[in-house]
Amino acid sequence: MNKFDRDFAGEAKIEYGDADYIILQPGAYVLCAVTGERIALNNLRYWSAELQEAYIDGPTATKRWLQIHADTPGN
């Protein structure tokens, strides 16, 4: 293992935007905010820019959205 491998071995720190994200600290994965499962960065497809959270899949992202917005008037 070289230094480059170590830089991309742990949890990444990400700033989530509406359509993309910025890697603030290199890593190999982020954690799902709902399940705690590791998500490899190359598999990261679902996140909330509003909450700055990542999700393992679409149903999990929807579940979290419903939790947050269930009490919002008009929803």
Q: Let me know if residue 31 belongs to a domain.
A: yes
The verdict on residue 75 lying in a domain is: no
What range defines the domain where residue 39 resides?
Answer: 3-69
74 lies in a domain? no
Is 29 domain-assigned?
A: yes
Specify whether the CB–CB gap between 34 and 63 falls below 8 A. yes
Which has more confidence, 7 or 32?
Answer: 32
Among the listed residues 54, 53, 52, the one whose alpha carbon sits nearest the alpha carbon of residue 43: 54
For the cut 70, the answer to whether the pLDDT of residue 3 exceeds it is no
Q: What is the pTM of this model?
A: 0.82
Q: Domain for residue 42, yes or no?
A: yes
16-56 pLDDT, tens per residue? 999 999 999 999 999 999 999 999 999 999 999 999 999 99
- Residue 39: burial class (beta carbons within 10 Å; 0-12, 13-18, 19+): buried
Tokens of 51: 């909450």
pLDDT category at 9 given cuts 50, 70, 90 is confident
Query: Tokens 């497809």 label which residue?
Result: 45
Domain count across the chain: 1
Specify whether the CB–CB gap between 61 and 48 falls below 8 A: yes
